[in-house]
Structure 1
C-alpha cells in the first residue's frame, strides 16, 4: 500500500519519535502524557501509513525495523523544523536587516521621525527607515500591500480597523524671531496678538482660518492672517526676516534655531498624535520592537 501523507499528523510523528527514542510503548506514553492504549493505537496508524510494522516485540520492550530506523533522522529533523516554525520569532535589533516604512506629515517627520531615527541608529544600524507622505485615500491599501508599516495620524483621521496607540498630546505656542519687539516684552496681551500679522500653516495651502481662529471667535476676537503655507518647514525662514508670528505645535518650536516662543494669550485646543498599524504586522517581533522604540522616544522627547 502506498503511504498517504493525509493520514499523518503532527501528533503521530511525535509518537513515532518517542517510540524510536524510548523503545517502549509504556515509556513513550509517559513521555507524551498519554495512555498506553492511545499510543498503541497511534502505532497502528503509523504502521498503516508506512505499510511497515515499524516495531517488533523484543525481550525488553520493542525494537525498530530497518524502515523505522531510516525514518528516525528525518522525523526528528521535521519535528524540530515544525517547532522552530511555531516558536515566536526572536528579534535582535543589532542584527536585523529590514526596511520600516512610515507615513507621516512634515510635522510628524520633525517631531517624531527625526528623534526616532536618532534613537534607532545605534541600536539597529542595518534597519532602514523609509518615510512617505500620508495619503488618506490609499492608506488602508498601502497597509494591506505592505508599502506602509506605520502611520502617524490624529484620532480624527484614523481609518477604521487599524491597531493604534496614542503617542502624546500636543499643545501650541507662538513662534517669532528673537529680535521681534514682542520677544522681550513684559506682557504678551491678546490685543497685541490680534494686531500682529500671522502666518498660518494649512495642509490645503489656501486657507486663512484654523484652530486659533476658532479659539479667538469663541472670545469675540479675530486676527490678521497674511500668509498661508502648506508646510511647517518653510516657517523658520518666513519668521526669521520679518515681524510675522505663527502659532505652531510646541514640539516644532523647541527645535527652531534663532526664534523665540511665547505662550499664547488665550487657550488654543491642542491635538493628539497617534501611531497606527495593520493587523498584518501586529504580531511581528521586529515591528513590535520598532513600535515600542518609537513610542518610548516620544515619551522621552522634552517639550519645554
Structure 2
C-alpha cells in the first residue's frame, strides 16, 4: 500500500518532461518538443528535483548536463515510456499520423543499402517519423542497443548477447575490385597475385573485416595492407590506375565504374555472411518499431 501511495504522488506527465529534458539538455528545446511553455517545463523540472531528491540537470557547456542519477534514469525511463505507449494503444499505431524519432545504427555500407529506399518510403507513408543515424564498431552498436541509446542496429553480428533479437535482411558474399589493366587479358586473380599485391582494408575503430583475415588464416596466409580506411564509399576511387586490391562485400560495388575496374571472385574461400537487424527483446511489443522493421525488410526485398 505504501508503494501505491508513492505512485499516486507522481504526475506521470513529469516523466515525459524528464525524458525530453534528458534528451535535449535544454529547457527551451524540451518545451518546444513537448509543445509546452518554458515556465511549465522549468516548473516540472523543479517538481522532479523535489520528488527524486536530486538536481537531475545542472548548468554547464551552454546547456544542462545530467547528473549521475539522471544518467541512471535515462535508459529505463525511455524504455518505460515506450512500453506505456504500446500498452495504452497496442492496435492504434497509424504510420500516417505518428510523430516519432527512431535512432538507427549502421555503417555507411548499411546506410547506402537501406536508407535511400527507406527514406522515400517514410516520406510517402509516414512523414511524421524522423530518423537519427549513428555508426560505430560492431561491438559499439550492440552496446548502444543494450543500453537503450539505439532502437535498431543493422550490420554483421555473428554473435548477439542473449538480451538482443535479430532478423536477417540478406546474405552477402565478398568480391575483389581491381584495375582492369592490372590483370592479364584472361582476367584471373590467382592466390599468388592476390598475396603479392597491396590491399585496401576497411575497418571501423579497429574492428577490421575479420571474415577475410580468418579465411586467410585458415589457409595459413597473410596479405599486405597498404591503406586502412574507416569507410568504404571512397575506397573504390583508389583502385583505378593502381595495383591495389579491395576485398569487400559485393553490394558495396553496385555503382562502381565497370569500364576501368573489374569485379572478380577472391582466389580463396571466404564464407558468406548474414546482414541483420538487431533490437532489444524488451522492445518486442513496440508496434511502431515493428512497423519500421517491416519497412526496412521491404526496402531490401525491392532493392
Instruction: Give the TM interval when normalised to the shorter protein.
Output: 0.5 to 0.7
Residues 249-269 of structure 1, C-alpha deviations (whole Å, 9 max, x = no match): 111111334543112222112
Cα contact 2:211–2:271 (8 A) shared by 1: yes
Q: How does 1:134-283 map to 2 (within 5 A)?
A: 134=136, 136=139, 139-140=142-143, 145=148, 147-177=149-179, 179-182=180-183, 185-205=186-206, 210-257=210-257, 259-283=261-285
Per the TM alignment, residue 232 of structure 1 is displaced from its structure 2 partner at its CA by 1.5
CA offset digits 1:167-222 (Å, max 9, x no partner): 22211011134x44238644332232223221111224597x84334323433544
TM-score after normalising by structure 2:
0.60
SS at match of 1:131: strand
Following the alignment from structure 2 to structure 1, what is the Cα–Cα distance between the partners of residues 183 and 294? 41
Q: What count of residue pairs does the alignment treat as equivalent? A: 216
CA deviations 1:263-293 (Å, max 9, x no partner) are: 2222112322221112443222221111011
Query: How far 1:157 sits from its partner (Å)?
Result: 4.6
Structure 1 pair 229/141, CA: closer, same or farther in 2 (3 Å)?
closer
The correspondence of residues 34-45 of structure 1 with structure 2, limited to 5 A, is none
Supply the distance in 2 between the matched residues of 1:183 and 1:106 (Cα, whole angstroms). Answer: 33
Distance 2:107 2:217 in 1: 27
8 Å CA contact 2:176–2:246 kept in 1: the answer is: yes
For 1:60, the equivalent position in structure 2 comes to none
Is there any run of 5+ residues in structure 1 with no aligned partner, and where?
A: 1-84
- Paired with 1:99 and 1:184, the residues of 2 have a C-alpha distance of 52
Relative to structure 1, the CA distance from residue 213 to residue 151 in structure 2 (aligned partners, 3 Å threshold; closer, same or farther) is: closer
Structure (1 or 2) with the larger CA radius of gyration: 1
Contact kept, 8 Å, 1:153 with 1:273, in 2: the verdict is: yes
CA gap of 1:139–1:226, structure 2 versus 1, over 3 A, is: closer
> How far apart, in 2, do the equivalents of 1:158 and 1:94 lie?
33
Deviations 1:15-42 (A, max 9, x none): xxxxxxxxxxxxxxxxxxxxxxxxxxxx
**Partner Cα distance (1:211, 1:283) in 2:** 34
Q: Which runs of 5+ in 2 are unaligned?
A: 1-86
Following TM superposition, by how much is the alpha carbon of 1:294 offset from its aligned partner in structure 2, in angstroms? Answer: 0.8
1:128 matched residue in structure 2: 130
> Which residue in the other structure is 2:58 paired with?
none
Note if contact 1:199-1:246 (Cα within 8 Å) is conserved in structure 2: yes
The ranges of structure 1 where at least 4 consecutive aligned residues each deviate by more than 6 angstroms after the TM superposition are: none
